Structure 1
């Protein structure tokens, strides 16, 4: 009898332990998802080692999750990059490389993230800039706040815009930066945070997928004065204007996006004073959106939603603030395609990893399948793959390569690949796939590289290996899909 009791206790202990282990490795129900989707943000954050950026709220989020040191966008321009995230398909699979073609103009049946989550009982919320085209995929959002235009608050800038319009200069934008002494909500990202907080209060009792699109630090660098006051303009260093030796003639652009703003010279380099003003504005804009992240996260905690919400912080692509004597994005260089990415599991998930960094090569195209698996859904076919194993073990050995693309008109395509230390790029004829020029840059210790090592016999082995990795994604016998709708003149 006594032996039978011991056997029963042993079995009970085993079953109880198994149940506890199962519980420990399971989330509390199906989690909510909150995505902070930031525009034009490079890895200029305190948690990424920035010596200048003041970002306490984003740094706190990194302490609560996994920070990815080597995350990459699929194209360094808004529309194709964002479509790639929302569909899990690369730009070359969609055939859209410009900002002028809405997704649904050419892809009626592609299943998107909001579409899938809505079909599975989630309330789907779009606030601010999520797609580049605000109307794109609109029917798949349960709640949709339109993307707002840029605004100026200083009377002299409002008067300037009125004057330019009266003179018929509609192509000239306002100043490239502004530091009005106003509340956060006077600019659109402050309003986006307000809408997010109000919406969370309304939908807190149901499952949700919420995208909060924060427009800064996209131009113009307009942010309340208190965020400018966090920095001393004179402490910013002027980046080297040196361009990489033997760079392909179309590898960098004339940064026309910035030149479209009032009082920006139409040719030549910027002087040091204007350069510092712009760098100052970029940093003020980052601290401004950091504050908005903090407000939304505080509400998530207050509503007791944090325990069952996965939080993703990400950017659509990187950015140049004077490096190589260039500005903005629109290229295949490392500083334009490497992006910040932080994923923080719900606090109710007992075995969640927090405060860790991963060097695994991951891509923005992986976000959709990752969220699908985290939420226990069945998703569509994707060019990416779930990085849940890396979230559970940040030291997990992962992919060998991450790839991006950038078109120069209809005839030239730049294809690029990194293994985390080397970046290899081929500029090809878009129709014949003929290689027009190759580039090889070392990035073991820096986002910047100033010598094209392609063709250097010392690096033949590295170049050959990188070439093979590139051709896995961009085979020479496969033409580039072209679905871009010509821009109306």
Structure 2
């Protein structure tokens, strides 16, 4: 009996040690302001060979959506698995832990379970959030300029007391990658991978481009022929709600950008060029980090996720940036590639399943065999393993216009239905119905059109399952004074 007990203990110890050793790593590329237009997504203008290579080595999701098209709430949602309407934070000015002390986050859970947790660059919008739960935490850097004339300009603007202090909206200095912050992010990521190569890790690499300003080394600008960029239509959708689009003050705050009216074609084309150069710049950083993962023999046991916090407009509808419920702002690229030692892994596949960024946390909990907190999302591991699997009927997002108006929106992958509601009474101020079967853009609000009545009724029912008319939209965040 004693011998059997000893044998059992040895077997138990060995099996658990083996299980611990086999726990997978996770590497997440979390990109700022990246819309669902890359080479692998069929873009004719994006030059993204490294991201395309990653897509060929995994599953590319064509219908992935964020919960709100603005940095802070979107990132909180990803890292907690809770929607903005659950957290009650809709602006960029409130850190998560200022109002939610007990919510269990992704780095918190993984660190508790023995993982080295790493945050490099922009992961949370507020660097103070969960700082204690990152084993390695590289604080995001401020925007920087390299050209001497821009450095001098920034000094002058600061001396003049200009606030907010923003320089030009783009720069193309002839420098090495590390002169700009995303180049340094990849450097820190590579150094950290070498430090933790013998540990189990959850690493987030927060790449800030293509967020404004569009600052990237000249060699990435030179990859693109500026003359080939088309000027998008400035036409706004017919019948669109008056507050559906923002006034894109984010861009107007940069030096040299007109405060009123549309941008002219020359400036529009330059900014489009800068956006594409910035995307090619971060693509190169992805390539460097992936190469290191291979060289350290870590790829075999690491799931790699490439994702964005929200989409972006570069002149479409005569608008810029994000801050809306329109398709081009809430649909994002999402690529997930399983560890290479998983025999049944899928590569070079695409999926039209409706998935959301809020699903990432429960997916990683499932993938790594952990016990996670309650989530508003759900594991999409079944879809990663079977990309054609039937999945959710809708994906939803929100966007608040101040404290009094809330926009709630849903897509079934082909149609987008939005209701703009009074945040207190839930009275519907206006509805929108747009078709997106073949494009990120749509130019006619079909709500109320008799021809599409059945579609609108169906979409309204789907939306109101997620957002009943008596939904209380909590407001836990505090606007900046």
Which TM-score bucket, shorter chain as reference?
over 0.9
Cα distance in 2 between the residues matched to 1:370 and 1:390: 10
Give 1:240's aligned residue.
Answer: 233
Report matched runs for 1:144-159 at 5 Å.
144-159=137-152
Are residue 462 (structure 1) and residue 455 (structure 2) matched?
yes
- Equivalence map 1:54-453=2 (5 Å): 54-453=47-446
SS in structure 2 of the partner of residue 340 of structure 1:
strand
Give per-residue Cα distances to partners, 1:20-69, cap 9 Å, x unaligned.
Answer: xxxxxx99811000000000000121000000000000000001100000
What CA distance in whole angstroms lies between the structure 2 residues aligned with 1:137 and 1:433? Answer: 34
What's the CA shift for 1:165? 1.0
Distance 2:315 2:471 in 1: 36
The 2-side partners of 1:161 and 1:69 are apart by 41
CA distance 1:27–1:346, shift in 2 (3 Å): farther
| 2:465 matches 1:472 | yes
Question: Residue in 2 aligned with 1:16?
Answer: none
Alpha-carbon distance in 2 for matches of 1:172, 1:483: 28
| Superposition TM-score, scaled by structure 2 size | 0.95
Deviations 1:244-276 (A, max 9, x none): 001000000110000000000001000000000
In structure 2, C-alpha distance between the alignment counterparts of 1:332 and 1:260, rounded to whole Å: 22
Measure the CA separation in 1 of the matches of 2:346 and 2:166: 45
The runs of 4+ residues in structure 1 deviating greater than 6 Å are none
Alpha-carbon offset, residue 170 of structure 1 = 2.7
SS in 2 for 1:197: helix
Inter-partner Cα distance in structure 2 for 1:171 and 1:300 = 39
How far does residue 486 in structure 1 lie from its aligned partner after superposition? 3.0
Deviation at 1:344, TM superposition (A): 0.3
Unaligned runs of at least 5 residues, structure 2: 1-18
- With structure 1 as the length reference, what TM-score do the two structures score? 0.94
Does the 8 A contact of 1:62 with 1:355 survive in 2? Answer: yes
SS of residue in 2 equivalent to 1:262? coil
Number of residue pairs matched? 463
Whether the 8 Å CA contact 2:63–2:413 is kept in 1: the answer is yes
RMSD after superposition: 1.0
**What's the CA shift for 1:172?**
4.2
Deviations 1:88-107, CA, capped at 9 Å, x for gaps: 00000000000001000000
Structure 1: unaligned runs, 5 residues or longer:
1-25
Q: Secondary structure at the match of 1:397?
A: coil
Please say if residues 432 and 479 of structure 1, whose CA atoms lie closer than 8 Å, have aligned partners that are also in contact: no
Q: Distance in 2 between matches of 1:178 and 1:349?
A: 43
- Whether the 8 Å contact between 2:91 and 2:479 is mirrored in structure 1 is no
CA distance in 1, matches of 2:25, 2:262: 47
| Greater Cα shift, 479-488 or 66-75 | 479-488
Number of the residue aligned with 1:484: 477
- Structure 1 distance, partners of 2:191, 2:465, is 46
Q: 1:331 to 1:50 in 2, by over 3 A?
A: same
**1:70-126 CA deviation, whole Å, 9 max, x = no partner?**
000000000000000000000000000000010000000000000000000000000
